[in-house]
Amino acid sequence: MCLQSASWKREASGLDPEVIHDVRPAIAVSLEAGTLSLVVLVWMVILLRIGRQASALATDSAYIDRQMVPILQNVWSALISGGGVLLLLILWDIDVTPLLASAGIMGIIVGLAARDTLANFFGSLSLYLDGTYAVGDFVVLETGERGRVEDISVRSTVIRTRDDILVTVPNSKLNNAAIVNESTPRRKRRIRVPVGVAYGTDIDQVEESLLELAEAEDLVQDRPNPRVRFREFGDSALNFELLCWVSNPALTARATHELNSAIYKRFQAEDIGIPFPQRSISISAEEVPGELFDRAASNRKNTDDGGVTGE
C-alpha cells in the first residue's frame, strides 16, 4: 500500500525515477572540504602569530641583528600565506595548473620590473650573512666616503660621514664593492703621523721627542706601545713616522691633529728644523742670443720712455 502511494506521488509530480540523484555524497565532500579548510585557516593564524612572537623575542636578543628580524618575519609570513592558499585550492578540487603557469609568467614580469629591488634585497641578505658590517661600525667605501653606519634596511645602507652628511648607498652596490671596516676585528685603530726633519738633525733626539709626545697625549693608547720608524732619506728631509693607537676609529683625525700640533711646538722649542722643498731659478742675459737680447732691450727702453712698443 505504501509502495503504491509513493509510486502514485512520483507519477503525479511528473518526475522520472531515473533522473533522481542522491546528493548526500556531494554534501559529505563539501562538509569535509569545509572542515579541512577551517583547520588550514586556524593553523595559518597560529603559525603567523608564532612568527610575530618569535620576531619580538629576536628583537630583544643580543645574538640576532635587529635589522634582519623584519626581513625574516616577512619571508615567514609570505611562505605561510602562500602555502595556506595552495592547500585551500587543492582541498576544493580547483586545478592550480593554470594558476601556476600564470604565476610563473607574473613572476618573470615582476622580476624584470623589480630587478633593482630584488638585487638590493638579496644584497642585504648577503651582507648580513657575511657579517660585512653592523650598525655603529666605521667603514670606508671604494669612492672614499668614510663614516659610521647609521641604518641597514632591506633596500639600502645609510652612512653618516665626518661632515655629518647622510649618504644612502644601495645594498646591491655595497655587496659588489670593496669595503674597509675599521671597527673589526677590534675597534682600536693605528694612526700614522709622518714627520720630516732637516739633514744633520740628531735622529735619537727626534725619536725620543716623538715618543714622549705620544705618551703624553691622552687620546693615544698605552698598549700597544707607540713607536717611531725612520722610513727613508727624502729629497729634502729625513722622513720619520710616528705609529700609535687610538681606542676608536672616530678619534683618528682628532688624535692626528693633537700630535701634529705638539710635534711642531716641540720642534720649535728644541730648534729642530722642518724643511720644505725649495727651487731656485737663475736667468742670465748673456745666455740669450744676441739678436733676441737687442730686441728685448729696445722694447724695454721704449716702455720706460712711455712709447708704444707695438700696435
Residues 141 and 99 in one domain: no
**Digits of tens for pLDDT over the chain (311 positions)?**
444 444 544 444 454 444 444 545 656 657 777 788 888 888 888 988 888 888 777 766 666 666 667 667 777 888 888 888 888 888 887 777 777 677 777 777 766 766 777 677 777 777 777 778 888 888 988 888 889 998 887 778 899 988 888 999 888 888 888 888 888 777 788 999 999 999 999 999 999 999 999 999 999 998 889 999 999 998 889 999 999 999 988 888 899 999 999 999 999 999 999 988 777 777 665 555 556 556 666 666 665 555 444 44
- Asked whether 81 and 142 are in contact (CB, 8 A), the reply is no
Within-domain flag for 39: yes
The residues, ordered by sequence, that sit 6+ positions from 211 with a Cβ below 8 Å of its Cβ are 226, 227, 228
Same-domain check for residues 42 and 69: yes
Asked, for residue 308, whether it belongs to a domain, the answer is no
Q: At what angle do helices 69-91 and 115-130 cross, to 10 degrees?
A: 120
Domain membership flag for residue 303: no
DSSP H helices in the chain = 2-13, 24-59, 69-91, 97-113, 115-130, 171-175, 203-216, 252-269, 290-304
The answer to whether 171 and 127 are in contact (CB under 8 A) is yes
Domain co-membership, 43 together with 82:
yes
Query: Residue 235 has which C-alpha cell?
Result: 729629497
Supply the pTM of this predicted model: 0.54
**Residue 244 belongs to some domain of the structure:** yes
Structural domain for 76, as ranges:
23-113
**CATH code of the domain in which 135 resides:** 2.30.30.60
At 216, which CATH number? 3.30.70.100
For residues 196 and 146, state if they share a domain.
Answer: no
How big is the CA angle at 49 (ends 100 and 92), to the nearest 5 degrees?
A: 35
Report yes or no on 299 lying in a domain.
no
Residue 289, domain member (yes or no): no
Cell of 285: 742675459
Residue 68 lies in a domain: yes
CB 213 within 8 A of CB 262: yes
| Residue 10 near residue 61 (C-beta atoms within 8 A) | no
Residue 3 falls inside a structural domain: no
Structural domains of the chain, count: 3
